[in-house]
Amino acid sequence: MHNHANVRTHLSNANARKKLSDMDNSEFRNPHVARNYDPLPVMLTRGQGAYLWDVEGRRYIDMMSAYSAASLGHAHPRILAKLAEQAQRLAVPSRAFYNDKLGPFLEELCKLTGLDVALPMNTGAEAVETAIKAARRWANRVKRIDSPEIIVAAGNFHGRTTTIISFSSESEYREGFGPFMPGFRAAPFGDLAAFDAAVTPNTAAILVEPIQGEAGVIVPPDGWLAGLRRLCDERGVLLLLDEVQSGLGRSGTWFAFQHENILPDGVLLGKALGGGVLPVSAFVAKRDVMDVFTPGSHGSTFGGNALAAAVGLEALHVIRDERLVERSQALGERMLQRLHAMRAPAIRDIRGRGLWAGVEIDPRYASARDVCEGLLAKGVLTTATHHTVVRLAPPLVISQEDLDLALGAVEETLAMFDAPRNVSDAAAGVDQRLEA
């Protein structure tokens, strides 16, 4: 039997404070797998809906949805049917030819966002790169700026490419990876006056997450996005929103920008767009912004392939037909209410919107990783972000009953960390970060 199975059955308040990350992980490790992640000690082999199973047949409730990539749940039957059907018909013909799936998919994305034109890519980071290229060329051509700048938010997470980490404020993402790409400046997230002050004649765009995910589910003050929209209009700057994580129902609306009734100049989508089975991303924008791309100026071998487009369109239809946005809103309210009612001393803060919450853990009591390991032992899977925040973002298809069960496990686990841990544990809170 695995060590962690023993931990699961014998976990007590006393030994909960012992670092569970001391659990023997070696049985899961393969020396041929690069160590750029430090997974929790569980080997998964199957998923269905909001459930995941390990190789020993134990079932877990998924409370993180693969960083929202599995928002539709695992192995959604409609997604699998579409995947199989389209794979047999036409999968990757390249963009050197038209394919009959791409147009309808991108048209639906434009209808849903209220924007005009969409450019398909694969990963979230590629959608971000596409938006950056669009903003720079737009600034070059429309504003005649030689050296355009993009203003981003401190604490941002937009992906892992060398350009994107160049404007990260996290040393962990940057350390040793220079030289860095110039042309970015940062202002504090949620601070309208600071963004206002950061705009110069060289500013091409403001690029932010409407809700910061990897930073720990940070919801900006009401009115901030609307304020950015006004600022961008006044100063002739593009507003680009990275909704790779916040979009497609996660925050209780189709897109987080709809909470403030604004329309950005461009929006970046990914993760859930692939229905939980493929990497599918897109940059969706107003026509004058997208028009800066001409044939040959940008592309991707896999972006917009027929299989991705068919699955992407089916994912959008599943979200609509199963009313997953409404579910996210209703179940999200339930989740936040329940979290706010919890009284564990280890809770420092609770933030969230829709079916997406971050529970900030007081490091004097536990690391977020400790809490995730405690949850694993109770059959609930999620991850930490930034050492101190436990993310809760189940598939939007989760049943109310399973959500309640998982939240019960969260409450019990948090209650176990009821006394300050010893100083060396707290100081050694150098758990590996688990951001996507």
Which residues here bind ligand PMP, judged by CB under 6 A?
Answer: 67, 123-125, 128, 157-159, 209, 213-214, 242, 244-245, 270, 436
Nearest distance, CB of residue 83 and ligand PMP, angstroms: 19
DSSP string, 192-252: HHHHHHH--TTEEEEEE-SSBSTTT-BPPPTTHHHHHHHHHHHHT-EEEEE-TTTTTTTTS
Q: Cα-atom radius of gyration of the chain, to the nearest Å?
A: 22
Which residue's CB atom is positioned nearest to ligand PMP? 124
- Parallel/antiparallel/unpaired status of strands 389-392 and 357-361: antiparallel
Phi and psi based region of residue 386 (left: phi greater than 0; alpha: psi -120 to 50; beta: remaining): left
> Annotated catalytic residue: which of 62, 82, 101, 157?
157
Q: Could you give the CA distance from residue 350 to residue 358 in angstroms, rounded to a whole number?
A: 6
Residue 1 buriedness (CB in 10 A; 0-12 / 13-18 / 19+): exposed
Question: 397 φ, ψ to 5°?
Answer: -85, 0
Q: What angle do CA 304, 301, 71 make, to 5 degrees?
A: 45
Q: Which is nearer to ligand PMP, 242 or 402 (CB)?
A: 242
Q: Which is nearer to ligand PMP, 159 or 374 (CB)?
A: 159
List strands edge to edge, sheet with 380-381.
44-48, 51-54, 59-62, 380-381
Q: Could you give the CA distance from residue 166 to residue 178 in angstroms, rounded to a whole number?
A: 8
Nearest distance, CB of residue 113 and ligand PMP, angstroms: 16
> Annotated catalytic residue: which of 54, 242, 370, 425?
242
DSSP string, 298-324: S--SSTT-HHHHHHHHHHHHHHHHTTH
Question: 418 φ, ψ to 5°?
Answer: -100, 5
Q: Is 191 a catalytic residue?
A: no
Q: Which is nearer to ligand PMP, 269 or 336 (CB)?
A: 269
Nearest distance, CB of residue 159 and ligand PMP, angstroms: 4
Q: Which is nearer to ligand PMP, 244 or 372 (CB)?
A: 244
**What tokens appear for 139 in the block?**
């600034």
Q: Which is nearer to ligand PMP, 186 or 377 (CB)?
A: 186
Q: Is 18 a catalytic residue?
A: no
Nearest distance, CB of residue 160 and ligand PMP, angstroms: 6
Nearest distance, CB of residue 272 and ligand PMP, angstroms: 11
Nearest distance, CB of residue 23 and ligand PMP, angstroms: 26
Q: Is 233 a catalytic residue?
A: no
> Annotated catalytic residue: which of 255, 271, 283, 431?
271
Determine contact, residues 286/210, Cβ cutoff 8 Å. no
Q: Could you give the CA distance from residue 49 to residue 65 in angstroms, rounded to a whole number?
A: 10
Q: Which is nearer to ligand PMP, 126 or 425 (CB)?
A: 126
**Residues marked as catalytic:** 157, 242, 271
